[in-house]
Amino acid sequence: MRKTLLESLTHGPLTEAPPAPDEAALAELAKNVDKAAQARLGRSLSIRAVDAGSCNACELEIHALSNAFYDLERFGLRFVASPRHADVLMVTGPVTKNMREALLRAYNATPDPKWVVAVGGCAADGGIFRGSYACLGGVSDVVPVDLHIPGCPPSPTALLKGLLALLQHVAGK
Ligand code: SF4
C-alpha cells in the first residue's frame, strides 16, 4: 500500500493529454448552428437526448457539450428534459428491445417539425451490439432518422458539425 501511495506521488498521470480543441473554431461552429436554427425556427435549437441502449460513452460526449469548456448554452442551444419541448431527438446506442417503446413514445411526443439524429456507430446499425438477442438494430429500424453522426463515440465537435449540417440541409430543402 505504501509503495503504491509513493508511486502515485512521484509518477505523473499515465493517461495521454487530450488534443486541445480549437476554441475559436468551436465558437464559430456553435454560433453557426444557432444562426441556422434561428433562420429555420425563429429561435434557438432545443435538443432531447435519448439513450436507447448505448454503452454510455456517446452520452459522455453529448454531456460534454454542456460542460464549462464547450458550454453550448452560451450560444442559445440547450438540452431539454421533455421531448415535448424538443426540436431534435439525439438518439444513442443500438435500440434495445426494452427501449423500443420509450423511443417511439419520445418520437411521437416531439412536436413537428422534428429531426432525429442518430449518434454513434451503434445508432447506425447496432454497431458492436448488432445481432444481440437484446437489440433490435439501429435507430432507423424504429423511427425515421434525418442524420447519422458517425464515431465511437463522436466528439463534441463532431456533434456540433452534425447539427449544423442537419440545419443547413433542412434550410436548403
Ligand atoms: S457507438 Fe461506441 S461509444 Fe457509442 S454506444 Fe456504441 S459502443 Fe458505445
For the stretch 90-106, pLDDT in tens is 999 999 999 999 999 99
Regarding the beta carbon of 127 and ligand 1, being less than 6 Å apart is answered yes
Quote the percentage of the chain above a pLDDT of 90. 51
Q: In which element (H, E) is residue 137 found? A: strand 135-137
Instruction: Give me 140's grid cell.
Output: 432507423
**Per-residue model confidence as pLDDT tens digits over 24-53:** 767 777 777 777 777 777 778 899 999 999
Q: Which atom of ligand 1 is nearest to the CA of 58?
A: 4
Asked if residue 83 has its Cβ within 6 Å of ligand 1, the reply is no
pLDDT bin (cut points 50, 70, 90) of residue 172 is low
- Which residues are 118's β-sheet partners? 91, 148
Q: How many secondary structure helices (H) and strands (E) does the chain include?
A: 6, 7
Contacts 24+ apart (CB under 8 A), 37-44: 37/76, 37/77, 37/87, 37/167, 38/76, 39/167, 39/171, 40/167, 40/170, 40/171, 41/87, 44/75, 44/76, 44/77, 44/78
Ligand 1 centroid – CA 41 distance (Å): 31
Cβ(48)–Cβ(90) below 8 Å: yes
Q: Which of 3-17, 48-62, 111-125 has the lowest mean pLDDT?
A: 3-17
**CB of 96 closer than 6 angstroms to any ligand 1 atom:** no
Q: Which atom of ligand 1 is nearest to the CA of 54?
A: 5
pTM attached to this predicted model: 0.83
Residue 128 has pLDDT above 80, yes or no: yes
